[in-house]
A and B are shown apart, each in its own frame.
Chain A
Amino acid sequence: MEDNVGYKILYKKELCQNQYEIRIKAPFITKNAQAGQFIILRVDKNSERIPLTIADYNRETEELTIVYMAVGYTTKKLSKLGVGDEIEDIVGPLGVPTHIEKYGTVVCLAGGYGAAPCYLIAKAFKDAGNKVYMIMGARNKDLIFWQDKMKNACSELFITTDDGSLGTKGFVTGVLSDIMAKEKVDYAIAVGPMPMMKAVADLTRDKGIKTEASMNPIMVDGTGMCGACRVTVGGEVKFACVDGPDFDAHKIDFDEVINRTRIYKDQEKRCDETNCNMIKQAVELENSMK
């Protein structure tokens, strides 16, 4: 076992505008990582802790892949690092892995930069013998990435764009409705902006399709010691970092979760006036509700 050696960036690629893929040597994370889990990262000594989902991993090479959007102060700081640079702290794998079993027909819905974590999830469901549909949605074609990788992870890949510049015009929920009209869906999982996950839950609720959503509330430690990430599920308070991040989407109090992501809006604005994370989320929220 090596001593803490720092977390060196081995590979970096701009996948599309403001979205980056990086690979990092992180033996303590790749050892036990599974689909649906996340890490907490601190870019440098003067950095906050931010959660990012594990997009891929390789146990042999001990390489961890994460995909992130450079939108706020910290992710922008991260995007300034290049191959050979070191990230100060990464801890994980955190959270409960996505529960994988053979349901039959599974639909994975990936919205915006929520797409990356869906890769491992879809792959795990496929490996477990499910028929896996993946629906990837974005504002326009320039924001769609990993098409080939995603195609390999599922049985059939659908792409939707809000402006119709690639795939079907519209939201992921449109394609989900089409699939539900044609065949029986046994399980759905949504990863993306809150309003998108909420819309998916509303669509599957009446049909009684078991649906999970991967929550992304504000986190600090990510290990269950503070409760910043609390979410009400079926009337009970849960900590997304240790009880989730996946929860029964039909039981999540989405309005409360969305409200809780607004806590530091003013502070974040001050931290990064022009391009903060919360502004981005607000934009995403507006777009997806249009």
Chain B
Amino acid sequence: MSKVERQRPFEQDEVKRRSNFNPVEENLTPEQAALEASRCLNCKNPLCRKGCPVSVNIPSFIQKVKEGDIQGAGEIIRESNMLPSVCGRVCPQERQCESKCVLGIKGDSVAIGALERYVGDNSAPVKTQIKENGKKVAIVGSGCAGMSAAADLRNAGFEVSVFEALHELGGVLRYGIPPFRLPRTVLDREIESLKEIGVKFYKNVIVGKSITLNQLKEEGYDAIFICSGAGLPKMLGVAGENLNGVYSANEFLTRVNLMHANEPDTPTPLKVGNRAAIIGGGNVAMDAARTAVRVGYKEVYIVYRRTEEELPARKEEIRHAKEEGIIFKLLHSPVEILGKDGFVNGIKLEVMELGEPDESGRRRPVPTGKFDTMDVDAVIVSLGTGPNPIIQQSATKEHIDIETDKKGYIIINENGETSVKDIYAGGDVAPRGESTAINAMGAGKTAAKAIIEALCTAKV
């Protein structure tokens, strides 16, 4: 057995990257990619595939990389995943494919994500001849679920229209995940490839407001796929939450990523202070913290009520955040936001300790009755999001009875069907476990398959 070590992509200098939005990680070089591919044992029963939510044929594509056939490798990936350049960058591989890699038992697993990214960036989608089937599908939302469903449905011959509420396409990939994790050229190229196969995109259209579900049916859409995500931010519910300087992570990231508020001469304003506290420990919290550093906050804190062990963010992002100087204030939970003249000037935290495991299996944070106060001029709340109620409210008004659960997520069966015929849903708008780009893509594929079966095979 060769003793090739896991290849690490080149990373931007940790000091320099604090002031720019360029990608932190470069791609593997061709030599690195070949070396990394040579580490794969090409298992007969590849467990890595089981760890991938869309079951990419990982050993096969890696064999192609070994042979130097990058285009061929891309074709294999794109059979299951239309957005390899995105997934190779944003998937939590250490909990998915790479966690199952047999090499990982004794050493480092194969860098499947880095290889997928390399292949995605260096290969082109195959243009197949599309046989029109004369049917129309409306997709509500242009995020990961919408893009993957659009690709599959279009390739199956449907006329596909994607409706997006914002003025740019991509959902969270556009307004949430910062360019230092996902360069916009990569995202734009993926969207462009969908336009090239004939997927139509309508920006500035809010389904439920600009056009309702019934009106879509009147326009001749045979099926509707709702993948409007979970964009409604959860707030803290503590005193002082509406002081100036308290943001949801969504607002903060949207101002920077979508509206470019950090760039000179952009009219969307951003107020940059000295010290920011980000409340929460997920990927969005890391993105917000690392963005805060880049727009010029001098000290940035992650305030999290459990310990580092339980942080839900990707390990790599936590490492990057630390390298960029972000301070982790663990076992602290906010109880009040303090202010002066209407602006935030501090935050009162309660010290926590870990108790018994809760239903999530993680040890529950328990208040100690001890408090701590920090001077900050911004508080960015990143406690997760819930489904946006617009489409559901509109459906109810039209007497379309789409069942939702108590939290407002749309209930679907294993095929992505809702309680209403010809209306499908998937991605973060449906009840979810871990919400990731690749899970949303998987949901898009599932719904697309069900739509194809329902509309193409039923009629003989």
A residues with CB within 8 A of B = 1, 3-4, 28-29, 31-32, 42, 46-49, 73-74, 88-94, 220-221, 223-228, 230, 232, 237, 242, 256, 259-260, 262-264, 266-268, 271
Contacts and interface: CB of A to CB of B under 8 A. Distances in A.
B88 to A, nearest CB: 27
B206 interface: yes
B396 to A, nearest CB: 13
Contacts of A49: 167, 259, 268
Given A46-B265, A230-B242, A264 B202 contact: no
A88 B235 contact: no
A67 B438 CA distance: 44
A220 B206 CA distance: 15
Given A242-B390, A256-B242, A28 B210 contact: yes
Interface stretch (B50-58, B250-258, B359-367, B449-457): B250-258
A92 B209 contact: yes
A259 B166 contact: no
B398 to A, nearest CB: 11
B211 A259 contact: no
A227 B206 contact: no
Interface in B190-206: 200-206
A221 B210 contact: no
Interface string B214-251: 01000100000000000111010100011111011011
Interface residues of B, number: 46
Contacts of A228: 247, 251
Contacts of A73: 267
A28 B138 CA distance: 15
Nearest to A47: B267
The 9 nearest A-B residue pairs measured at CB: A267-B269, A226-B251, A225-B231, A259-B342, A264-B269, A91-B204, A28-B210, A89-B167, A48-B268
Contacts of A223: 165-166, 206, 231, 388, 390
Given A220-B259, A225-B388, A271-B269, A262 B342 contact: yes
24 contacts: A3-B202, A28-B210, A42-B167, A46-B267, A48-B267, A48-B269, A91-B205, A91-B210, A92-B206, A93-B210, A221-B254, A223-B206, A223-B390, A224-B389, A225-B231, A225-B250, A227-B251, A237-B235, A242-B389, A262-B342, A263-B271, A264-B271, A266-B271, A268-B269
A224 B242 contact: no
Contact of B210 (A31, A220, A237, A259): A31
Contacts of B219: 1
Nearest to B241: A237
Interface string B272-295: 000000000000000000000000
Interface of B: 161, 165-167, 200-206, 209-212, 215, 219, 231-233, 235, 237, 241-245, 247-248, 250-251, 254-255, 259, 265-271, 342, 385, 388-390
Contacts of B241: 237
B211 A91 contact: no
Contacts of A225: 231-233, 250, 254, 385, 388
A134 B242 CA distance: 33
B204 A28 contact: yes
Nearest to B163: A28
A224 B209 contact: no
B250 A226 contact: yes
Contact of B242 (A74, A93, A237): A237
Contact of A89 (B204, B211, B231, B390): B204
A88 B269 contact: no
A227 B390 contact: no
B203 A89 contact: yes
Given A3-B202, A224-B231, A259-B243, 4 more contacts: A4-B202, A32-B210, A225-B233, A230-B242
A223 B232 CA distance: 9
Given A32-B211, A263-B244, A221 B166 contact: yes
Nearest to A46: B266
A28 B205 contact: yes
A31 B207 CA distance: 12
Given A31-B215, A267-B269, A226 B254 contact: yes
A1 to B, nearest CB: 6
Contacts of A89: 167, 203-204
Contacts of B251: 220, 226-228
B242 A260 contact: yes
